[in-house]
Structure 1
Amino acid sequence: MTGRPIRIVVVDDHPVVRDGVAAMLSSAPDLEVVGQAGSGPEAVDLAAVLDPDVVVMDLRMPGGSGVDAVREMGRRGLRAAALVLTTFDTDSDTVAAIEAGAVGYLLKDSPPETLVSAVRATAAGETVLSPSVATRLASHVRAPARSASLSAREREVLVLVARGLPNRSIAKELFVSEATVKTHLTHVFEKLRASDRAAAVAAGYERGILG
């Protein structure tokens, strides 16, 4: 392993679950769990002090919800990216979390290797959504019928975004500049009425653009 490990704060109100997730992540050589929290407010305070790369956030906690914590982290301008890890995939939970600023959303029944990969992707600024979450989210980002269809290149860009590739990797894959990728993404967002990468991917599933 080279370079600094990805620093993580794990947030869950159940100590056994929290310890289990922390142990699972710590087993990866490039991941380091630097703190644990049992509520949303505690998570925000820890993130402010420890400056982690990723906060793995449960949603429903008696001491303060994960959604509120994600929103507060954004309001404070904290650097950490939020990856939701929860048992809930209802419309209200998924949409609220993504709108609050969560970069990814996984369910707790995800395999350990999926969680490890998701943390790495989240630290790199990539969008990670469980398939069921993407499907639920899609119903809330339906574009009007008058919206223009994507061009072939815009569709290619969206497919690569759905694979979790950052702009730089997409540019390499398509042999174009990062500026060109950003322009295509801007058009994709406009056409799909999406505010960010996660919403665009969800809309892509909804429209059948993504398999």
Structure 2
Amino acid sequence: MPNLPSHHHANQQQLRLILAALQDGVILIEPDQSISWANRSALRMHGVSSIADLGTTVSEYRKRFELRYRNRHRVPEGGYPMERVLTGETFDEVVVDVAPAGQNEAQWTHRIRSLVLNDAGGVPDCLVLILNDETERFDAEERFEATFAANPAPAVILRLSDHRYIKVNRGFLEMTGYDEGQVIGRSALEIDVLEGAARREFAIERLQQGRTIPQMEAVLQLPGGGERRAVVAGQPIEVGNTDCMLFTFVDLERHKLTEDALRQSEDSFAAALRLSPVPTFVLARSDLRVVMANNAFTREIGYPEGHLVGKGAIELGLWGDLVAGQEMERRLERDGRLRGADVSLRTRDGSRLDCVLSAEPVTVGGRACLLVLAQNVAEHRRSEAEVAAAIQAVMQDTAWFSHAVLTKLAQMKRPHAADGQAASGLGDLSARGRDVLALVCRGMPDAAIAHKLGIARNTVRNHVAALYRKTGVSGRAALVIWARERGFTGGPPRKTPMPTKD
């Protein structure tokens, strides 16, 4: 640095004291290209702590930091703001991305202004760069750009100063059939998104004031002719320090098609529900109130659907056991589904209906619901009980059965062997098989047989299955008839248990 008058150093010192406290970054450059001073903000904007790290000259700065314009093109040699100010050029705003040399990704975005301080003779005495850190703002704008472009909802952005469109997303282009070049730069008069709006004058007034435009229906003119009805709304936003209006749209035609498809789907669901022979009803997921019920359920329960809809099971008094019903509802609220739960329902006439409930989550009309199947098992259980009683009666006394009747029953119950041969006789049975058959003929269930013979329950099942195979019958009643035909009385089994290797 050349020897300068003392008043020059004094002025520089005063200037530095003033600039040190500024939030903006400030770099002072001497006419000989040396960087004489930088405040803390300027150093922080470069990720360094001293001027030595920044570069003591403009040439060193260029070697340590790479600058790019916002279009990602590198700033060429001679185009760095420091180099431009050395030529005496002043500029109000230059925006550049800054990265340490060798790094491709920018770490900061600077908005730079220049200032040239002359001495009394008009000769440049000090060159000043004023830096603003715009990193967060530009990052936010990039995120907005990416979100705006990717958003499937149709949208355009209008600059308020001249009412020209500056951005358009793919959703708007697909809805209208415009190309991007046909929209960007066009005015609101050329592409009138408020045409045919129910409150057009009010919307235009809001647009001119830069205020929110509430939702309203409008008619968009398409580039190839024709119209498109849509709901449009406007929201004032700022894009790159420019006041704008963001217009968003809902395509009423597509919305109507979606609603029609949804309605058809729901109609199909309702039709299938009502035609189902299994008693079924739908509960709202939020409060477990009945939304709909099919004919099979209303027939079983005795109430018309209109009486059920909008009410809960407790309010309707449907639970045969209130405590068990409340527990069932807690499970539905917690898990949102149910599998084969035994429950008793109370019908309109006060009788009890034994059911097995199963529930699965479904969506009906956009509402979270539960589809509940209530299978009536009373008839099934009654049939089982009647069969068991009949077998028990047979076990007690079969003397009144004629041989002919027993033969007919056996023929009805026993399928013919594939090879046409008759089923095996008693002589083909093992000793343990005869023991099991004797207790079956006495009407004992598997568990009692296992206990009586001192063997496992699975072993009993295996012996019974073997008896079915050897005799060619299916079912315990047919097995009893088969044994009676052959004079097997089902007397008490041997008292000495067999070895347990079976």
Q: Compute the TM-score of the two structures, normalised by the length of structure 2.
A: 0.19
User: If each structure's strand is expressed as a fraction of its own residues, which one has the higher value?
Assistant: 2
Determine which structure has more spread, i.e. the larger CA radius of gyration.
2
User: If each structure's helix is expressed as a fraction of its own residues, which one has the higher value?
Assistant: 1
